[in-house]
A and B are shown apart, each in its own frame.
Chain A
Amino acid sequence: MSLTRIRLLVWKEFLQLRRDPLLLRLLLLMPIIQLVGFGYVVSVDVRNLPTAVVDLDQTVVSRQLESSFTASGYFLVVARPDAETQLTSLLDTGVAKVALVIPQGTQDLLARGQTAPVGIVVDGSDSQIASVGSGYAAQAIARFNASRTAAFTGSLQAPGIDARTRVVFNPTLDPINTMIPGLVAAILMISLMSIMSQAVVRERESGTLEQMFVTPIRPSEYLIGKVAPYALLAVAQLSVVAAIGMLWFKVPFNGSVWVVFVGLALFLLISVGLGLLVSLISRTRQQAQQALVFIMIPTMVLSGFIFPIESMPEAIQPLTYAVPLRYALTVLRGSFVKGSGFEALATPLWAMVGFAIVIFGAAVIATRRRIAE
């Protein structure tokens, strides 16, 4: 590999970028328009919210309360930790989105005709889940209280459960706070992929690709020379989008800069790689555009960007694991809103590493095989 040739390729690429007015528009205007345009998203129905139940009472009443939650169909018990302290890690990693804490002595309090407080903790990092989840929790408790009132027919005053709902991570429940980090990832992906997907196929159409490959330029040099300028551009673009998100929409940032950086860097690489792959296997620019739409639509729908994954039909949900944006969203939302660290986000981060390796491996193979044909 020759550094001189890579430098030449990068130089050439920047000259070309500078002379493409459409590209600059695509790069800077599109993200801003999208950021503002996607600002708010319709709320959707949520079912089977992963729920953790901390039953410290272990009585008939506590079990009745739990079943009134599960009977609604909105909550799915995924964990039964012994202590409230274990909730933090469950919510941190996203294993549970809602937690129900039934304190010791709940049955006794109710039996004595007193009001018993229970705790409901809702993960606010996805505001849709948070608002819908806490609403359903309130309904479940109301139902529980109503059935008890019906049982205590003689009593005038029916004391019951008092739910104290606490929203963690995003206490103000502002949808913007969870939207912006997701938008950053999605916008990055859309614009990078659309620009990148044209990059190689344009040279194939003009014949310059063929010309370059009869010179000493190697496929790996060509790939690096292509990817590097766009990666730099992506960083510039990201700064614009992030600045708008944080200054205009006032999204609080609780997390570690390094987690966001690593997560975005990986996702950026994946987006560039996917665009490159589309470009390499397309014969014409039009084909590349079609392939892009073909990838983009399922990505948007399945990543959890528009609809929470929990709200999707169960048969569809496994498909979401094949969508890189899903992991980027988990990392960004987790880090922006919850302040989760590397440990809690290890799974989605490694998943992105895996995607990056597979995609670039495929790009190298595609370059070797399709350069001339």
Chain B
Amino acid sequence: MTREGEVHGIPADPSAAISVRGLTKTFGNFTAVDGIDLDVPRGQVFGFLGPNGSGKTTTIRILTGTSAPRRGQALVLGEDVVAHPERVRPRIGYMSQKFALFEDLTVDENLRFYAGVYALDPAVFAARRRYILEMADLQGRERELTRNLSVGWRQRLALGTATIHEPALFFLDAPTSGVDPVARRQFWDLLYELAGRGVTLFVTTHYMEEASHCHRLAFIYRGRIVAEGSPSEIRANLSTQRVYDVTVRDADLALSWLETADGIAEAYLSGAALHAVIDRGVDRGAGALRDRLVAAGFADAVVVSVEPTIEDVFVNLVSRERGA
């Protein structure tokens, strides 16, 4: 089933950083990417979200020209990346969660390798090298083996090498997984800096708090885009429902009670607390929910009405999709 043009009803847009129509990728009988349409305007930070195995990496591989789609059109920086990956590659950058540096090469050797690959001329390389060493806080450590750097430094160096050729479009596939929250925040500061210089960023992530850093978001679930828009548009998806934050000592037990309780559309762990989603039609407020919890034996329950987060929307979209 091709959904080419179904969502947008317009042809792929060569002026966009990425414009994709009806993109499909199969592995045997399994459809990993199922006819997706995407438009990523230039200069934006585009968040590509989805649970494990939903098809994010597969999509990025097609867009970087390392994997051929079964069907569909993919324009990257105005070029057909499927037919002419070599036209696209010098202008894109890519960073995966593996921080793919050569661990048995030094900081400098890694930089020199990638500079050579992109055929940077010596003057440009010298300037880029200086910039990257400063950005990654690695001045004076140029001759250290990459393997001996700790995670935060390695990640920043990987960012530097992957952007050594100043790409117009930068793909990041779960770049912050396995990185502590402080390093993650620092990393996002660097990404903002890149975005500030006009680089389009296409970022996949599992971390919901990172979604709000993006200009636009797309949710992919089981190979299909289930929602797309700015973070606030996405949140509006939950406008017919209310989200309550439930804090209770015995969270596990409370969760199983909430999951089966009448009138609760959705219940799940959110950080240390629980989130309960209730349709506005049957909602009778935080107090009413607390009373029910106390009656059920959770005397210490604290219930607060909260603004839905991206994660709330996401859980909701997925459960709707499952129900459908």
Contacts and interface: CB of A to CB of B under 8 A. Distances in A.
27 contacts: A4-B119, A5-B116, A8-B116, A8-B117, A12-B102, A12-B105, A15-B105, A19-B145, A206-B103, A207-B99, A208-B100, A208-B102, A210-B66, A210-B100, A212-B117, A214-B65, A214-B66, A214-B89, A214-B92, A214-B93, A214-B94, A214-B171, A215-B114, A215-B118, A372-B66, A373-B61, A373-B67
A8 B112 CA distance: 9
B134 interface: no
A318 interface: no
Chain B, interface size: which category?
A: 20 to 34
Contacts of B93: 214
B118 A216 contact: yes
Interface in B54-78: 61, 64-67
Interface of A: 4-5, 8, 11-12, 15-16, 19-20, 206-208, 210-218, 371-373
A210 B66 CA distance: 8
B90 interface: yes
Given A4-B119, A12-B113, A216-B118, A211 B162 contact: yes
Contacts of A206: 98, 100, 102-103
B200 interface: no
B119 to A, nearest CB: 7
A372 B61 contact: yes
A213 B162 CA distance: 12
Nearest to B110: A12
Nearest to B113: A12
Contacts of B255: none
Nearest to A369: B68
Given A216-B117, A372-B66, A15 B109 contact: yes
Give 6 closest A-B pairs by Cβ, nearest first. A207-B98, A372-B66, A211-B100, A207-B100, A214-B94, A8-B116
A216 B120 CA distance: 12
Given A4-B116, A20-B104, A373-B67, 16 more contacts: A4-B119, A5-B117, A8-B116, A11-B113, A15-B109, A16-B105, A206-B100, A206-B103, A207-B99, A208-B101, A210-B66, A210-B94, A211-B100, A211-B162, A214-B65, A214-B89
A208 B99 CA distance: 8
A19 B104 contact: yes
Contacts of B103: 206
Contacts of B171: 214
Given A210-B66, A372-B67, A216 B100 contact: no
Contact of B64 (A214, A216, A217, A218): A214
